Structure 1
Amino acid sequence: MLSRVYCASTIGVDARLIEVEVNRTGGMPKYFLVGLPDRAVSESSDRIEAALENSNASFPGGRITVNLAPADLPKEGSAFDLPIAVTLLHVSGQIKTEGLSDTLVLGELALDGKLRAVKGVLPMAVQAREKGIGHMIVPAANGPEAAVVDGVQVYAFDHLKQVMGWLRNRDSHDPLDVDVEAMFRRNDDHEILDFSDVRGQENVKRALEVGAAGGHNIIMVGPPGSGKTMMARRLPAILPPLTLDEALETTKIHSVAGLLPSGEALVTARPFRSPHHTVSDVALVGGGSIPMPGEISMAHNGVLFLDELPEFKRSALEVMRQPLEDGSVSISRARMSVSYPSRIMLVASMNPSPTGDWYDPGDPAGASPSQMQRYLSKISGPLLDRIDLHIEVQKVSYDELSSKSRGESSAQIRSRVVQAREVQNQRFIGIEGVYCNAQMNTKMARKICKLDDAGAQMLKKAITSLGLSARAYDRILKVSRTIADLERSESIQSNHIAEAIQYRSLDREGWLG
């Protein structure tokens, strides 16, 4: 007798349907599992046998062949336990049910028959909907995550016994329903770090507002204690809220990595990732023998904060150049190639010198020229070219620190950022993959960011005197377009160009002084 049921396996942040086929014939008891299973899948038979025995069922006798199709695709993880168990029950006549062809089944089995959560359920649910599969059986812990996807009825269970009961009687259990809008409202209710806590630094706040409005990469240079980290951690509070599509994209990555917080069905707040400077190249951009997303992908649609940038290994920083430019990370292995999205806002901070203060070649207690060279050599010109805003952060004065007046709140700044993003959303309607000014390619930037004569002359003078690269030229155009959007100006004026040029301080000769 032959039985089939659908499962799924993740490849990158997408999923692919897997047919679990079980054939049972007479003869000596033997069990064969084929279809390129990994170690976790190969060990499933022992878990399934114990789970069946502890669920008032039995492991069928005879010659059993389990095929995971397509046979040339590697199968990884423990999500195949439950679909294999269901097909074994079906071929042995312990359950009699129709409609398995319209059901996607996944879950890991404990020895006592309980269902354990698995990774990547959200992309699997999306794939089920695209393939027209109307029902999903998942562990209870994965239920809300799968139910976020419209068009698929999700049934979440705690134990194999419950699954068997539902297969015998489809009316015994109601599909799971979740309120996506309530998930977003709960995020809005959370207490977040606020910019009103920051004393002084009005010029830095303005630059961060420009960066948030256009999705631009930022580097802050200033001595310790000037508030660089404090302001960076408050940046997500002024970014626009995630749309549902962005939330689904972000949740897919966290789901595949197995890092979706317990009890959370959807990532509704923009991610903020801050890896330590000892992070490896693979941990930062992704990879490994079994490819997994790195920090740059975990921060997709959010902020990746690199504190003390020169302390990171130069090799780790250099591998970020392509993902920053393309918005995705491609990882190739002998058996597969996967791609993870990495559309992030990079925020970096650094001290102006190894000693922490601004570089003074005449100060005997300061850093020597050779020390400065070693300190800065880890940050390459091409990497700086990919950072739109260079911000000098000065120490906060006593008067500013002791002042009782509070600055603008994050909500006030965020309202202006959201208005600027709405202008950009209208501008980029129909252009796939472009949601803000920072994501424009060179051709789009030259077409959209047209300058008047005064602005063109000002930019020409800056490019000539500073010796800026073509990439830096495009960055200035994009930033000036964002500044104009914040002021609701249809055209880019000379004052917008002047402010954008001001944010290229690391391109100026003698910026350390």
Structure 2
Amino acid sequence: MSIAVTRAVALRGIAGHVVDVECHIGHGLPCFELGGLPDTALRQAPQRVRAAALSAGCSLNARQLTVNLSPAAIPKHGTGFDLAIAVAALAAAEAMPADAVRPVVHVAELGLDGRLRHVTGVLPAVLAAREAGCRHVVVAPEDVTEARLVDGVRISTAQRLGDLVSAYRALRGGSRLPEADEPVSPTTREPGRTLDLADVSGQHEARAALTLAAAGGHHLLLTGPPGSGKTMLAERLVTILPPLTSAQALETLAVRSLVGAVLPGRLDLSPPFVAPHHSASTAALVGGGSGAVLPGAVSQAHHGVLFLDEAAEFAGSVLQALRQPLESGQVVVARARQRVTYPARVQLVLAANPCPCGEGYGKALACRCRPTERRAYAARLSGPLMDRVDIQVQVPKVSLADLSEVPPDTSAEIAARVQVARDAQRARWQRHGWTLNSQVPGPVLRRAPWRLPRGVTATLDRALELGQITGRGYDRVLRLAWTSADLFGRDVPTSSDVGLALMYRTQGAVAA
């Protein structure tokens, strides 16, 4: 009788738990039993492991093997446990040293020929291993680049299971498997990115609104006819946002890893930009699925921009599903046997036409829609959702004069002003645990020492009394006023900042 243990990682969202893969070899009839709440793909691991071990010259067919994935109460998903199961079985069969494999985490799928294959979620798995104190992870060759994004963890690989067995057998005196490659360094922009806000002609009010949104992390609605530049503006928001920190970039890439996205070879500090099609389902937008619970577009845009073009064309239930993530900054997907949480701290940008035909702006002389059609179209963006959008601005058609004007400020120039405003916010709120005005709870801004004088908030107070804004809207106007003051270099908002914030709050609705 022989027992060997190695390690793997069970993912639940982007959080992971290090799992002990225990293998016991008995003297009974040949069998291969697997326990520990495996899913369908994982239940098929014994067949893959037997074939891969035979390809490596180490047959397990005549043995009674019992494998337990501990803790057994945690559900296990996917084929990433294959390598760990094979290593534990071969160590129990004394084909490799059991003491050498015990502290190492193994994450890879096995082919029938013994080849180590790519699996999704390698980055969050390596992050979880590091958090648990593990310092050595073996992955497939295709996953080395992704795994090396995590500092403080030794990454090793092998082409086939037989190569890994030979490498373990060659270890002497506490030596370790060779490291796969050199560590990576961060980069701030992907090669070839050429978008610049200077490409947008005219639209001075919309550009100012975009700058305000970037400075404070506020949600934005752009309303205007087709061809006015709404999509161009939205796509260039990320070019004026500050680069992510290394921790934020890893968290964002970890979400992308779960959906099988190809990650860059270097740590990209650029904020993500995600723009799902208007036919996207609720699961595609906020996360879910019938099998494994995968992150949706709102989580893939974590620490970046979620852009919903033609927002009024999205299904009403899909848009309503965004309300909770926008408030809490996370998505919670509940299932019968598990509860998965994904991060979703995003800036939401909505773009919509004023009516179905798109011509219902200004005097709407060219509009072909009936009044009932326009009202029904505007109602697709519900009040509760729009109450969470801080800035609503109309984007008119571009004139010939706009096309002929001197090029406006570039993204780099605007990004510098945004960074100054964000530095002021961080200095003000950091000791309270916030970094942006949009994150500050409303009660904090309505009480001493941050409460503004009555003379400054007079127009805002009147709008609340007349029912023109809600209590949530009142707080969001205050946050926007503080951001306006930061952009203009003022320590405290003035009545003009509050008036500007209130105007942006109410002037750009689709129903206008």
Query: Common fold, TM-score beyond 0.5?
Result: yes
CA contact (8 A) 1:466 1:507 kept: no
Per the alignment, do residues 239 and 65 of structure 1 end up closer, same or farther by CA in structure 2, a change over 3 Å counting? same
Deviation at 1:333, TM superposition (A): 0.6
Match of 1:460 in 2: 461
Aligned 1:122-271 pairs, distance under 5 A: 122-170=123-171, 173-181=177-185, 183-185=186-188, 187=189, 189-259=191-261, 261=262, 264=265, 266-271=267-272
Match of 1:67 in 2: 68
Match of 2:297 in 1: 295
CA contact (8 A) 1:60 1:92 kept: no
SS of residue matched to 2:34: strand
Confirm whether residue 26 of structure 1 aligns to residue 34 of structure 2. Answer: no
1:323-368 CA distances to partner (integer Å, 9 max, x unpaired)?
Answer: 1111111111110001111100000011112221235898595322
Match of 2:437 in 1: 437
Deviation at 1:107, TM superposition (A): 0.6
Report the count of equivalent residues.
Answer: 506
Query: Which runs of 4 or more aligned residues in structure 1 lie more than 6 Å from their structure 2 counterparts after TM superposition?
Result: none
Cα distance in 2 for residues equivalent to 1:180 and 1:336: 35
Deviation at 1:424, TM superposition (A): 1.8
Deviation at 1:265, TM superposition (A): 5.7
Letter in 1 for 2:179: P
Report the TM-score when normalising by structure 1.
Answer: 0.93
Cα distance in 2 for residues equivalent to 1:489 and 1:87: 63
Greater alpha carbon shift after TM alignment, 383-392 vs 499-508: 499-508
Per the alignment, do residues 362 and 277 of structure 1 end up closer, same or farther by CA in structure 2, a change over 3 Å counting? closer
Deviation at 1:443, TM superposition (A): 2.4
Cα distance in 1 for residues equivalent to 2:366 and 2:123: 59
Deviation at 1:157, TM superposition (A): 2.5
SS of residue matched to 1:3: strand
The gaps in structure 1 that reach 5 residues or longer are none
CA contact (8 A) 2:184 2:265 kept: no
Match of 1:9 in 2: 10
Match of 2:396 in 1: 394
**Fraction of identical pairs, as percent:** 38
CA contact (8 A) 1:97 1:167 kept: no
Greater alpha carbon shift after TM alignment, 423-432 vs 368-377: 423-432
The gaps in structure 2 that reach 5 residues or longer are none
Cα distance in 1 for residues equivalent to 2:166 and 2:432: 49
Per the alignment, do residues 127 and 229 of structure 1 end up closer, same or farther by CA in structure 2, a change over 3 Å counting? same
Per the alignment, do residues 435 and 362 of structure 1 end up closer, same or farther by CA in structure 2, a change over 3 Å counting? closer
Cα distance in 1 for residues equivalent to 2:413 and 2:467: 35
CA contact (8 A) 1:359 1:512 kept: no
Deviation at 1:462, TM superposition (A): 3.5
Greater alpha carbon shift after TM alignment, 211-220 vs 145-154: 145-154
Greater alpha carbon shift after TM alignment, 89-98 vs 458-467: 458-467
Cα distance in 1 for residues equivalent to 2:183 and 2:415: 26
Alignment partner for residue 336 of structure 2, among 329, 334, 337? 334
Greater alpha carbon shift after TM alignment, 207-216 vs 105-114: 105-114
CA contact (8 A) 1:301 1:344 kept: yes
Letter in 1 for 2:187: F
Letter in 1 for 2:350: A
Cα distance in 2 for residues equivalent to 1:107 and 1:497: 55
Deviation at 1:296, TM superposition (A): 0.8
Match of 2:53 in 1: 52
Per the alignment, do residues 29 and 177 of structure 1 end up closer, same or farther by CA in structure 2, a change over 3 Å counting? same
Greater alpha carbon shift after TM alignment, 171-180 vs 69-78: 171-180
Per the alignment, do residues 282 and 70 of structure 1 end up closer, same or farther by CA in structure 2, a change over 3 Å counting? same
SS of residue matched to 1:118: coil
Per the alignment, do residues 263 and 140 of structure 1 end up closer, same or farther by CA in structure 2, a change over 3 Å counting? farther
Confirm whether residue 408 of structure 1 aligns to residue 409 of structure 2. Answer: yes
CA contact (8 A) 2:121 2:258 kept: yes
Question: How large is the RMSD of aligned CA atoms in angstroms?
Answer: 2.1
